[in-house]
Amino acid sequence: MIADNHGLTGGLFADLNVVSQRASQIYDQAIRDYHLYDSTEAEMPHVYSQSQIEFLIYKKAWTDTVQWHVEDLIRDIDIEPAHALRLKRKIDTLNQDRTDIVEMIDMVIVNQFEDIVPLPDARINTESPAWALDRLSILCLKLYHMRQETVRKDARPEHTERCFRKLAILEEQHTTLSVSINELFHDISHGSKRMKVYKQMKMYNDLSLNPVMYRKLTH
């Protein structure tokens, strides 16, 4: 993780009308890069400098992509219990990493708009910009894998047709979410929305908050 993410540079916020489009480009790049290795153990390539916000955006998509494939692996009906447990532990770690990255992105965004004075009637959005970008990352993953299903050579025609219908829905969702994210950034930059960071406060990974774990430590 980056020790100090408040001063990150990068062009993600250069034009608030296309923040979501730029983020999607980076997400798609990370997804494609992962599939060059197609291994949940592959190390993330150094595509962006850690001084750039794009580094966090790329890392977000890479983490999501790894988790996507680990979630596939753990659903193997013939999986050995010990291997399933290792994968479950990996999913827990990836979930925590994902949350940490999202919160770091939100702090960068807070810093980006720290000089904006909210209007007296400014409202708080139901989710922060970074959590909206998180949803966009997952949508990009769904789009990638649904497109893969539409070109499967071993699939029956009805499967391919069903996937094309799902793909159309996902593409429409991607379009509307992209517009909404850009509008959120526009509203924050003009003071009509207040920037709010939602800390997830995950408890199951914390030795002092998960009762199953802390009871073992006290006995």
Distances (CA, A) of 74 to 43, 79, 82, 138: 20, 7, 11, 19
Q: Where are the domains of the chain?
A: 16-210
Q: Could you tell me which residues come within 8 angstroms of residue 199 by beta carbon, excluding any fewer than 6 positions away?
A: 103
Segment 171-184 mean pLDDT: 98
- Phi, psi for 72 (deg, rounded to 5): -65, -45
Summarised one tens digit per residue, pLDDT across range 61-120 is 999 999 999 999 999 999 999 999 999 999 999 999 999 999 999 999 999 999 999 999
User: Is residue 123 classed as helix, strand or coil in its secondary structure?
Assistant: strand
What mean pLDDT is reported for the chain? 91
Summarised one tens digit per residue, pLDDT across range 30-48 is 999 999 999 999 999 999 9
Segment 203-215 mean pLDDT: 69
Give the Cα separation of 219 and 216 in Å (integer).
5
pLDDT at 79: 97
